[in-house]
Amino acid sequence: MAYWDIQVYGTAAESCGDNLKNWSLPLRLQPHARRLLTACWLLAAVALLLLLLGVFRSDYASQRRAAALQRCSRAAVALAFTADRCQLLHSAPPQQRTVYVITPTYRRPEQLAELTRLAQTLMHVPALHWLVVEDAARTTPAVAELLARTGVRYDHLVAPMPEECNILPGSKPRGVPQRNRGLQWIRANASRGVLYFADDDNSYDIRLFEEVRSTERVAMWPVGLIGSYGISTPVVVDGRLAGFYDGWISERKFPVDMAGFAVSVEFLLQRPNAFMPYETGFEEDGFLKSLAPFEPNEIELKANNCSKVLVWHTQTKKNEPSAPLDIKKYNNTNLVLLKKQIV
């Protein structure tokens, strides 16, 4: 069956005979052709609609992916001090001085608990470098694992007590070789900043570290829970140093606590012979005197003219070593892993 029915008007049709009388112009579609054309238009419309839906879905998916990435980015920032975030947090910008915290430590039942508490504070301090120095021949794996997961910039060092000190009667100058090792590291690796001796058995207000950071030469502030006096601090009158308040003054020129002062790295580097002596009870005094020329009237008084306590000697109760684990009974249990963490 032909699709087209053509009619010709005028003399042309007459001259062509009767067979042309049924032809017509212009061209017209037969019903079945119109149906076919309509179907083609519908198919084209459906295809266009599907194309638009595909573009919309692709754009929507892209937006969802972008939103998901944005949420992940926000979540990553919000995660409290993951390793990457802490590296950024503790990296000092050019205008901000690094605080170098020297912490001597030794293996004992309370060690990991106290280092964990201190770490939780230091994780909130920007531009900080933690020097953890063990009284050991080699680093302790449990301490190394703790330091790695904090995200704080750190160096894990060792400095065992010299044998000649171990055989001496009486109390040992604990922490001295570790602090001197920290000073050695600073001299080799730092050119600016502030050093602070932070023992692992103290409690620290986060505001203290901004007081430390602003130290120009040697700064001091009160330390709480010291001896029978309850506090060790410079005595301040009208904004000036008038003396020292401490349970044990003795003949010390600087009767202060280890947690009560900080020293500028630049100031330290100008005094290559500054060190901490192996003299029990005179460690702080000996170190500060080794910074000569330096006199008490040059002390920078921090913590609102020494009127605020931002660090305390909260010494943990001494615990006896835990009982040995019965390996035959508990060999295949979680206790094996737990005992590696508990002395």
DSSP states of 299-330: -EE-HHHHTS--EE--PPPP-PPPPPP-HHHH
Measured over the CA atoms of residue 263, residue 268, residue 270 and residue 272, the dihedral's sign is positive
> Which residue is listed with tokens 């050119």?
191
Q: Six-digit token pair at 261? A: 């002062």
| Nearest CA among 156, 155, 175 for reference residue 98 | 155
Using alpha carbons only, what angle is made at residue 233 by residues 252 and 171, rounded to the nearest 5 degrees? Answer: 50
Q: Are 129 and 153 in contact (CB under 8 A)?
A: yes
Which residues are tagged catalytic?
284
CA distance 242 to 299: 11
CA distance 112 to 83: 19
| Nearest CA among 297, 313, 155, 163 for reference residue 223 | 313
> Which residue is listed with tokens 């063990």?
134
Length of the chain counted residue by residue: 343
CA distance 157 to 223: 27
> Which residue is listed with tokens 């103290």?
202
Q: How far is CA 7 from CA 19, 26, 190, 199, in A?
A: 10, 8, 102, 110
Judged by DSSP in three states, 178 sits in helix
Q: Six-digit token pair at 287? A: 């170190």
